[in-house]
């Protein structure tokens, strides 16, 4: 990887927890803004809020999946990334402000 190409993609899998997912994504915007982000949404319907957020962010991609299960969602995310490493962040996790830097230092 070149110094300007991230080595890791962040992946958040969510289902029916819009407020928790929003808080997690807000924290990732502050703590890992330079890293690509894939969100797998397994809600009953595709989230308009997630879609709108992705439209405003060049680094974020949302994949709607009508299936169920964390393992399934994680496999979908794995197939969507282009980096060597993937870091899964739970949809109720609030990362530290230095999360992205610390993660890249480990990759």
pTM over 0.85: yes
DSSP reduced 3-state for 70: helix
The pLDDT, as a whole number, for residue 3 is 57
The pLDDT, as a whole number, for residue 42 is 96
Strand segments (E) across 1-107 = 8-14, 37-41, 60-64, 85-88
Residues of the chain below pLDDT 70: 1-3
Beta carbons of 17 and 46 less than 8 angstroms apart: no
> Which pair of structure tokens corresponds to residue 67?
């299936």
With tokens 């974020």, the residue in question is: 60
């Amino acid at each position: 990887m070149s110094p300007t190409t991230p080595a890791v993609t962040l992946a958040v899998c969510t289902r029916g927890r819009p407020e928790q997912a929003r808080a997690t994504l807000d924290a990732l915007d502050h703590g890992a803004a330079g890293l690509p982000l894939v969100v797998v949404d397994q809600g009953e319907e595709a989230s308009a809020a997630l879609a709108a957020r992705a439209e405003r962010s060049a680094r974020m991609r949302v994949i709607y999946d009508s299936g169920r299960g964390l393992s399934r969602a994680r496999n979908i995310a794995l197939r969507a990334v282009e980096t060597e490493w993937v870091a899964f962040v739970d949809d109720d996790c609030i990362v530290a402000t230095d999360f992205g830097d610390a993660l890249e230092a480990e990759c």
